[in-house]
Amino acid sequence: MPTLEITHLYIYPIKSLGALALKEAHVEIQGLAGDRRYMLVDEHGKFITQRTRPDLTRFQLSVHPDGFLVVDKKTGQNKCLRASIKLGELMSVEIWDDLVEARIVLDAWSEWFSQLLNEKVFLVHLTAASPRFMKEKYHTSLSKESSFADALPILLCSEASFKALDNQMGESVDRLRFRPNIIVSGAEAFEEDSWKQIQIGDVQLFGAKPCARCQLITVHPQQGTINKDVLGALSQIRKMGNKVYFGQQFVPQMLGKLAVGDRISVQVQQDAVY
């Protein structure tokens, strides 16, 4: 039986902006540390993503000694999002069906993004005082909270699943279209949908549900261009009912550290539930 191991780890510090590739990551109750704890919202507090603003791909992130460096590829401007950033007043924000009280990030971050996007926006931060709760059926004994991810804290995809899509497309598809946190090798295509519980070192994750996909995967993660063929090709091989699936969503059950090269043990399998 092939060895299952982590080949890539990613976080997205600001929802729907650039990815950060990591060699190792700590698992917290809301997912990987630093993943989607920040989010842009409009003046009414509604979340903003590449679904309506594909030009958000202009903002790429890199690690900085004090936190993260956000670079606007269009203008060349950059700004450091410090780990010790000061937070301001609470703002009611909306992300899908959830209403959360998040704190506005100070140091002129909202003004910076507003000027570049030509739209009044606010950069907000998820705080422990006002968590975002998952639906009860996805709770574990450890975690009841998520980040500003669309639904659940961690998304895992296999190399074989990506390869199956590549074959359907007739070309390689950028993995970051799917915004995975963990990519693994050694699995069969879409096998991850059946993983109900996995162990990676000290970390234990509960496989809550496969991830239904939308038009976000049609957005090129660096260029912001649209290619509807990606969703069309995926629909040909992964449509179940009226939804299209790719990747498995996980919720932490035991915390610890993950690293590229770590081996994965599938402790509990079940028939995938779509």
pLDDT of residue 1: 65
SS3 content of the chain, % helix, strand, coil (to 5): 20, 45, 40
CA distances (Å), 133 to each of 98, 126, 129, in order?
8, 12, 12
The residue with tokens 């639906």 is 135
* Tens-place pLDDT, residues 258-274: 999 999 999 999 998 88
List the structure tokens of 4: 């299952």
Higher pLDDT among residues 128 and 191, named by residue:
191
Average pLDDT over residues 81-97: 96
> pLDDT grade, residue 60 (50/70/90)?
very high
* Tens-place pLDDT, residues 164-186: 999 999 999 999 999 999 999 99
pLDDT of residue 53: 97
List the structure tokens of 78: 């950059």
Instruction: Output phi, psi for 269, to 5 deg.
Output: -115, 155
* Tens-place pLDDT, residues 193-247: 999 999 999 999 999 999 999 999 999 999 999 999 999 999 999 999 999 999 9
Contacts for 232 with CB less than 8 Å, ≥ 6 apart: none
Parallel, antiparallel or unpaired: strands 59-64 and 145-146: unpaired
pLDDT of residue 2: 84
Average pLDDT over residues 62-81: 96
pLDDT of residue 3: 96
Q: Is the pLDDT of residue 120 over 70?
A: yes
Q: Please state the pTM of the whole predicted model.
A: 0.97
Average pLDDT over residues 88-100: 97
Average per-residue pLDDT for the chain: 97
Q: Is the pLDDT of residue 152 over 80?
A: yes
Average pLDDT over residues 60-77: 96
Average pLDDT over residues 40-58: 97
Name the packing angle between helices 159-169 and 229-238 (round to 10°).
Answer: 110
The residue with tokens 């690293």 is 259
pLDDT of residue 273: 84
